[in-house]
Structure 1
Amino acid sequence: MKDWIINYLRAQQAALAAIPPEAVAELIELLRTAWRENRQIFAFGNGGSAANCSHFATDLGKGASDKLSRRFRVLSLTDNVSWLTALGNDYAYEDVFVRQLQNYAQPGDVVIGVSVSGSSPNCVKALAWAREQGCRTVALVGAKRGPMASLAEHVIVIPDTHYGRVEDAQMGILHLLCYAFMENPALASPPAPPQ
């Protein structure tokens, strides 16, 4: 058991080390632009990725927003159980995210899809719709990449297929996006006046 734990932790460290700092920096700037322009930010995923999206919305909506002169407008589309189940039941499970975006999303908003496989039909459909509507799209995926990696404007691939390791690394990325605003006062400068 000790050897298994050591090997697991070694593989986990490799997954974390594979997070590309320059790509994370681009996402931080994307969120900063969204904040400055008062855009909305949406996140979605299934299973463990759904939990990561909820965690991200909490940290960005509360922790990061507490440090800013104006709050982030962020929603995890995984959190409204009655709406999710109504959409899944009345339409199809692949519509549970896209139909929420149809109610909320506007061009220029940020849409973040999180998936280990990159192939979840509901995430693929939502990202495709968001891209068509002029939203800024982000995909966090594992080594299989899937269609999400081709659809999104910004993509970070964790080069592993192990669900636990990829989900942990993806949560690491989402934490970086939030803590960048919590721990770097320069990012919290007031938004530029409208042109």
Structure 2
Amino acid sequence: MNYQSKLKDYINEEILILQSLDLDTVNEVMNVLEDARLTGKKIFVCGNGGSAATASHYCCDFNKGISEIQNKKYNFECLSDNVPTMMAVANDIGYEEVFRFPLKNKMKAEDIFIGISGSGNSKNVVNAMEYAKSIGGTTIAIVGYDGGKIKQMADHNIHVNINNMQILEDVHMILDHLMMYVLSH
């Protein structure tokens, strides 16, 4: 079977989405993150599934990749990375609380919360963002589809406007590398 036509269609669609990104919002988010680094604020990030992997990758790239060359370092924490705590909260309280619960113990007013969600409607991410806002945190949504609830709630958002989970997750990861590249050069 020849898949070349479908492969080209996917690549061409991804190129169009990349070209349609609102670079003003990306720039705005980068400035929020740089301000957090320079003022010693903590940045919490989370997501489910592929977005959890992306959140973890953001932590690596900002905490090591960018921070390696900086005197003042980034302080990212991926809430999706602590599986034992997530499972304990999910089992004892409910899966919708796996991100809000640790924020209640760790997040301070003016810290940053980043929710990564394809749909923007993941209840556990929505709950965490609600909590972050309630204590005076700055919130960022990185979303796809129509942006969902967290796009509407967030102080800042980067919206990948496509109803294709694979392409929007690709672009969410490209955004990480794009920001890392620009901030470390």
TM interval, short-chain normalised: over 0.9
The corresponding residue for 1:192 is none
Kindly state the Cα deviation for residue 19 of structure 1 after the two structures are TM-superposed.
Answer: 1.8
Determine the structure 1 residue equivalent to 2:9: 7
Q: Is the partner of 1:58 in helix, strand or coil?
A: helix
- Report the equivalent of 2:114: 112
Q: Distance in 1 between matches of 2:61 and 2:129?
A: 23
Counterpart CA distance in 1 for 2:115 and 2:94 is 18
RMSD: 0.9
Q: Where do 5+ consecutive residues of structure 1 fail to align?
A: 184-195
Q: Which amino acid aligns with 1:101?
A: L
Q: Distance in 1 between matches of 2:180 and 2:130?
A: 25
Distance 1:108 1:81 in 2: 26
Displacement after TM superposition at 1:87 (Å): 0.7
Aligned partner of 1:175 in structure 2 is 177
Counterpart mapping for 1:1-195 below 5 A: 1-183=3-185
Task: Point out which structure has higher relative CO (alpha carbons under 8 A, 6+ apart).
Answer: 1
Paired AA for residue 103 in structure 1: N
CA distance, structure 1, for counterparts of residue 113 and residue 177 of structure 2: 17
TM-score after normalising by structure 1: 0.91
Identical-pair percentage: 33
Q: What is the aligned partner in structure 2 of residue 189 from structure 1?
A: none
Distance 2:171 2:71 in 1: 30
Please tell me whether the aligned partners of residues 16 and 172 of structure 1 are also in contact (alpha carbons under 8 angstroms): no
Question: Which range moved further: 27-36 or 168-177?
Answer: 168-177
After superposition, the C-alpha distances for 1:126-185 in whole angstroms (9 at most, x for unaligned) are 0111011111100011122111111100011111011110001111112223222211xx
Q: Number of paired residues?
A: 183
Matched residues in 2 for 1:170 and 1:43: separation? Answer: 13
Equivalent pair of 1:19/1:173 in contact (CA under 8 Å)? no
CA distance in 1, matches of 2:170, 2:75: 25
Aligned 8 A contact 2:46 2:52 in 1: yes
1:3 offset after TM fit, Å?
A: 0.5
What SS does the aligned partner of 1:143 have? Answer: coil
Residue aligned with 1:140, SS: strand
| Structure 2: segments with no counterpart, 5+ residues | none
Where 2:8 maps in the other structure, the secondary structure is helix
Q: Is 2:43–2:75's contact at 8 Å kept on the other side of the alignment?
A: yes
Aligned equivalents of 1:135, 1:7: Cα separation in 2: 41
TM (norm. structure 2) is: 0.96
Distance 2:92 2:132 in 1: 22
Once residues 112 and 21 of structure 1 are traced to their aligned partners in structure 2, the CA distance between those partners, rounded to angstroms, is 18
